[in-house]
Every structure is written in structure tokens, then in C-alpha cells.
Amino acid sequence: MKTKLIPIGNSKGVRLPKPLLLQAGLTDEVELHVQDGAIVIVRASTPRAGWAKAAQELRHRKEDVLIEPLTPTIFDEKDWEW
């Protein structure tokens, strides 16, 4: 599909037809990057998406343990009160 760039202030924009937006699953927020001389538009990623499920799976496999044992500090020994 060919289209023209339209002026938007000091920038230029492209009108994206609704069928393309629906096919790509694009909503209000997107990410742009340049790849091999092309401008690529992708769905905005959600930071930490899937972390809760991954943590539950670790717990289920009993792999949610500390890598190293805790090292007590002076604060723990003298200043901390329950």
C-alpha cells in the first residue's frame, strides 16, 4: 500500500488505515524504531509483562529461593527491634 507523508508541524506523519491497525493489533501507544532503512511500528511493550506468572511458576517448582544466604549486619544485630 502506498501513501503520502503529511506535514504535522515541523514533522511528518502517515495516516494508518483502520484495517491495518486492527491486523497489527495497534492501539493508542506504539514503539518506533529504524531497521534496515525502514521505520518499524510495533505495539508498545508492557514492562515486566508476565513477571507475576513467572514468579508463580518458580514458587510451584520450589525454585523461588535466595541465591546466596543472608549476611547479617550490625544493624540486624544491634539496632533492629521487633
Residue 48 is predicted with a pLDDT of 86
Residue 82 has pLDDT above 80, yes or no: no
Query: Which domains occur in the chain, in start order?
Result: 6-43 (2.10.260)
Top-confidence residue, 70 or 37: 37
Q: Residue 40 belongs to what H/E stretch?
A: strand 38-43
Residue pLDDT, tens place only, 12-51: 999 999 999 999 999 889 999 999 999 999 998 888 888 9
Q: In this structure, is the dihedral angle defined by the CA atoms of residues 5, 11, 17 and 19, taken in order, positive or negative?
A: positive
Q: Provide the grid cell at 19.
A: 484495517
3 state DSSP class of 36: coil
Residue 31 is predicted with a pLDDT of 93
